[in-house]
Structure 1
Amino acid sequence: MRVTQSMMANNLLRNISGGYSQLADYQSQLASGKKITRPSQDPVVATMGISYRTDVNHVEQYQRNVTNAYKWLDSSDDALKQVDDALNRIRELTNEASTDTYTADQRAAAGVEVDQLIQQLVTLGNTQVGGQYIFSGSDSAHPLLSQASDGTVSIVADLSQPDFSVAVNDGIQITINVKPEAVFNDQLFQDLNQLKKDLTEGTATGSQISAHLTEIDTHLDEVSSAQADLGAKTNRIDLTKNRLAEQKTVATNVMSRNEDADYAETIVKLNQQQNVYNASLSVGAKIIQTSLIDFLN
């Protein structure tokens, strides 16, 4: 086959263009820090990158869920501490009012404070986090308690699904709420309203008022049990948080090995390609300079 000057020139230009394109790829890798900037450059890397990035995004979403879970748990724990304080104050008032030295007016004054503390318990039972009622179970859009004008307190939330859960990993849900009736149950408010009535009406004896102490102690035990259960859930969330951090580290490292450019290797290849490109230009300049006139001479 006869090789013409035009064929040599075209072949040279095609090779120089290819080398220049490869040189541009290496420069792009150094600038972006990634092996590829388009899927067409390496479909395998691009496909695997989508899968690895999805894994990282899943872990990050679960980490955000864990952060929200901490808000619920911390708010629930704070509310239970205030419930405990309120019940202890009610117990203190009851104990003082049960003595025979207390007059009817003093007991009535204690009854007024008990009434205020009952209202505070209703407020605590309707605690919200981000617009959601944390003691209402799955019915978090509605308050747990309602207090009528006569002081009667009733549960108004739908408790058919008492648990509120969050997803913390694929297929794993953790319940993060205090069960609605574990603390704020009907018996609590019935007992407290009866105590308030006994104090304010002034007809109850010291022993009758003293009998309420056992009831209050029972409700204090319920608060302690709820706090212990909440602590166990917090410990599990802590373990889950650590596990997710490890998963993210592993997933990020795998994604990095698949997508990120090796700077040292890329710089070496860039320099090699630069030398090849410069040599191609030098040789090409000599070939293209030769013409038919040169041969005639």
Structure 2
Amino acid sequence: MRVTDSLMSQSFLRNLSTNTKNLQKYQEQLSSLKEVNRPSDDPLRVSKILDLNNTIVQNDQYKTTINDAIQWTNVQDSALSSATKSLQRIKTLIQSSANDTMSHSDRQANKAEIASEIHGVVDALNTNFGGRYVFAGMNTTEAPFKVETDDAGEIVGISYHDGKDDSTANGNLSREIAPGVSIELNTDGRVFMNEQGTADSPDNLGSFFKDVMQALDTDDTEKLSGLLDRADQVIENVVSSRAKTGAIFNRLEATLERNDSEKLNLKSMLAENQDIDLAEKYMQFTMEKTAYQASLAMGSQILQTNILDYL
């Protein structure tokens, strides 16, 4: 094979172009600190990076939902704690009023305090978090509990309204906290009016308060004594709901830890696929720069020959 000046020039230009591309590649990687800067660099790697970025965004969205749910359960726990204290005070006043030695005026004084505590219970169960009522079921924009009074302004119980026509449907709000994983928040306030939605259950707050007020008006000490057991049931119902809320909180806390751990793993995987090894890339860049400069030096020797050299 005859080696001509033209062949040598073409070979030089081809090698110089390759060295220039390699030098530009490493220079761009060092400038951006990214392994790939466009899909054409490595389509498979770019696809994996995009998937990881989307997963990280989704992970952040789940974390926001989890944190919101944790705050929600904290507010619920505080509200139930306040309601429990009011109910315990009501029980103490009922026990005091059941004493036969107490006068009618004394019972009326207890009745006034019980009425105040009833309002306290309703206020606690109507707790609002970020514009949403935490025990309002699906209808979180309207206060679910209301103190019912007669024409004389006397308390005759409390009522619950969540805007649902179907009293048997689940009124708990559901939150997706991980792919394919949802959790129900304890938001159905009907549990305090008993699960069946009827007014004659012993743990129904509405009927319990109504019976207490009536017994105080009529000085019915026997009925007041019987209401002590119902007071225990009402308190137990609220405490049970608080325990359920606590269990939900614990699950959310565990989910949040897994969410944070998953994000660290995703970030690590993204770094492995996207970020460069700075020391390694700089070494490669230096080698390519040396090769490029050598090509230029050799080219200047090859291309400088012209017809004048033969004259």
Structure 1 residue 236, shift from structure 2 partner = 1.9
Paired letter, 1:173? S
Provide the residue aligned with 2:93 in structure 1.
93
Name the stretch that deviates more: 2-11 or 285-294: 2-11
Q: Which moved more, 1:80-89 or 1:51-60?
A: 51-60
* Aligned with 1:247 (options 262, 267, 274): 262
1:60 aligns with 2:65: no
Q: Structure 1-normalised TM-score? A: 0.88
Partner Cα distance (1:218, 1:75) in 2: 23
Deviation at 1:279, TM superposition (A): 0.9
How large is the RMSD of aligned CA atoms in angstroms? 2.4
Q: Residue 193 of structure 1 aligns with which residue? A: 210
Query: C-alpha distance in 1, partners of 2:21/2:121?
Result: 73
Contact 2:160/2:189 (8 A) holds in 1: no
Give structure 1 regions of 4+ aligned residues with deviation exceeding 6 angstroms.
1-4
Q: How does 1:22-37 map to 2 (within 5 A)?
A: 22-37=22-37
In the other structure, the counterpart of 1:216 is: 231
* 1:271 aligned partner, one-letter code: T
Shift of 1:147: 3.3
Deviation at 1:143, TM superposition (A): 2.8
Give the drift of 1:103.
2.5
Deviations along 1:54-108, one digit per CA (max 9) or x if unpaired, are 2222222222221111011111111111111110111122222222343222221
Task: Please say if 1:167 is aligned against 2:190.
Answer: no
| Preserved CA contact (<8 Å) 1:72 1:177 | no
Q: Secondary structure at the match of 2:291?
A: helix
Counterpart of 2:297 in structure 1: which amino acid? S
Partner deviation per Cα, 1:99-139 (whole Å, 9 max, x = no partner) = 23432222212211211221222222222222222212233
How many residues in Structure 1 have an aligned counterpart in Structure 2? 294
The percent of aligned pairs where both chains have the same amino acid is: 29
Give the SS at the match of 1:102.
Answer: coil
1:1-297 mapped onto 2 (5 Å cutoff)? 8-9=8-9, 12-13=12-13, 15-150=15-150, 151=155, 152-157=157-162, 158=164, 160-185=169-194, 187-199=204-216, 201=217, 203-296=218-311
In 2, distance between residues paired with 1:211 and 1:128? 34
Aligned partner letter, 1:223: V
Match of 2:37, SS? coil
The AA in structure 2 aligned to 1:231 is G
Deviates more, 1:97-106 or 1:219-228: 97-106
Q: Distance in 1 between matches of 2:90 and 2:7?
A: 102
Change (3 A) 1:281 1:193: same
Q: Is the 8 A contact 2:72 2:134 kept in 1?
A: yes
How far residue 238 of structure 1 moved from its aligned partner, in angstroms, is 2.4
Deviation (angstroms), 1:15: 3.7
Distance 1:78 1:128 in 2: 12
Tell me the CA shift for residue 17 of structure 1.
Answer: 4.1
Q: Distance in 2 between matches of 1:184 and 1:125?
A: 12
Name the aligned partner's letter for residue 277 of structure 2: D
Equivalent-residue separation in structure 1 for 2:4 and 2:105 (angstroms): 121
Determine the C-alpha separation between the residues in 2 that align with 1:81 and 1:50: 47
In structure 1, what residue type is equivalent to 2:160? I
Q: Give the match's secondary structure for 2:172.
A: coil
CA offsets per residue over residues 136-170 of structure 1, 9 Å max, x none? 22333333223345344221112533121111222
Gaps of 5+ in 1: none
- Deviation of 1:214 (Å): 1.4
Distance in 2, Cα, partners of 1:134 & 1:12: 76
Equivalent AA in structure 1 for residue 161 of structure 2: V
2-structure distance, mates of 1:282, 1:179: 81
Worse-superposed segment, 173-182 or 272-281: 173-182
TM-score, structure 2 as length reference: 0.85
Q: Secondary structure at the match of 1:162?
A: coil
- Structure 2 contact 135–186 (Cα < 8 Å) conserved: yes
Q: 1:261 to 1:105 in 2, by over 3 A?
A: same
Partner Cα separation in structure 1 for residue 305 and residue 108 of structure 2: 118
CA drift at 1:222: 0.5
Matched AA of 1:195: V
Task: Return the offset for 1:24.
Answer: 2.6
